[in-house]
Structure 1
Amino acid sequence: MTETPSIVVNGVSGRMGRMLVQVIGASDKARLGGALERPGHPWVGKDLGVMLGGAANGVIVSDDPAAALAGQQAVIDFTAPAATVALAPVAMAAGCAHIVGTTGMTKDDLAKLAEVAQSGVIVRAGNMSLGVNLLVALTKQVAKALDEDFDIEVIEAHHRHKVDAPSGTALMLGEAAADGRGVSLDEAAVRGRDGITGPRERGTIGFTAIRGGDIIGEHDVMFAADGERITLRHVASDRSVFARGALKAALWAQGRTHGEYDMAAVLGL
């Protein structure tokens, strides 16, 4: 491991890509070693600093993952499922830790990442903030303590541009609740109620997704019984919390043996 690991940002023109560049640039524990974008993107071949509206920084945006990852220590990836799955074996072959914040993955996508992790290092989380991962741990604990007299509802809100629902964080929270109850989320989950749905089935875990404006991320886990209600809540007011968590994961991943890790492992929860 080098003293200051060199990190590549995938999807560098996006909201999280730009924030990652800022957070890495402000850190004295890592340096920005490369920037990736999809083939045909107008930033490819251009100086990243200039594309971000500042001075040239010598980092040229690439559309060649193998070339961009050569000699690097980690790649941080908040893109799309297909792009993340395609990047995983490239990162493994380059000896790069692959830090995955991409959401909306299918079971097949996750299986492909797990296969790559048999020979590489992947840190994957639906949300990389410290607060959210504490919320996940608390959700499991509360669900374990309460019986099915308490209905569980996961309520999430995000900006109008988010393309997947429920959010990756909402699914993390749902999984935590299901684990606490000792049930399968696939069997307990209820999504997208509409019309005459009938009464709520006992023991289900509901999901409600809100989309609008520029909401960065709000997540509530409500435990509702007759006469009382418990709500656990996390609100993100600055996207940098996710970037800082991803950077922490990239630093933590250095020197790890192959495998797939989550933020609970990174944070020692």
Structure 2
Amino acid sequence: MTDLPLLSNARSERVRSVAALGRRAARDKQGRFLVEGPQAVRELLGYAVHAAEALYVTDPAASRHTEIVSTALGAGVPVHGCTEQVLAAMADTDHPQGMVAVARRVDVPLQEALDAVGERGYAVVLTHVRDPGNAGTVLRGADAFGASAVLVSAASVDVFNPKVVRSTAGSVFHLPVAVGTPVPELLHACRDRGIRLLAADGSGATALPDADLGGPHAWVMGNEAWGLEPEVLELCDDVVAIPIRRAESLNLAMAATVCLHESARGR
């Protein structure tokens, strides 16, 4: 690491600029976000290296993860050595594992995400989802079960919130994610593309095993506290309930994962 430029002043302008990305206002202004920890950085470099702007790494972490440092340098991504104090000042988490990257936003326009669904794909729509852990886990589940895209409505949590990015475990770099469209406009755009809208709701008359998953479809998931609003349910083609034996309900991330697994099984 002696050949890498070393940052040692935790109060420097560069460090403050990186640390500011923990706040949404700074992310929106800069169009950048934090990627913390070796796993997420590895996925950034493997799937979205064009978005990587800089890598900050401590000497112990560089020694443990030489392949990550080599990949970044080989791709022309600036790599900066830093002290533990500097890294702690930059990171959102208390345990960034010696590595933080800065990346440009990787979301795509809504129409590009819908193109990815095509004639046989499936997606998940998050409406007014506010919890970072839930949003990140849904993204991870969508990636795991082969979803074509994730569509995140306006008034939902920022998918580039550091907590969301950590919860995705790198999946945010694997599939198209569209953000910021108001719910009615988002649902109408899906319908215009021939994508069936399946509301996941405990009030549904259709049980999940009986749902029509043959063509392009999107699972519509509601807010953690109040679920799906009546006007959203009216815009959906079907309301689907997950059969539950004993528990009162499933949380948002669990319900989305079960629905996406069913879509994958149907393929």
TM over 0.5: same fold? no
Report the structure, 1 or 2, having the larger helix content.
2
TM-score scaled by length of structure 2: 0.32
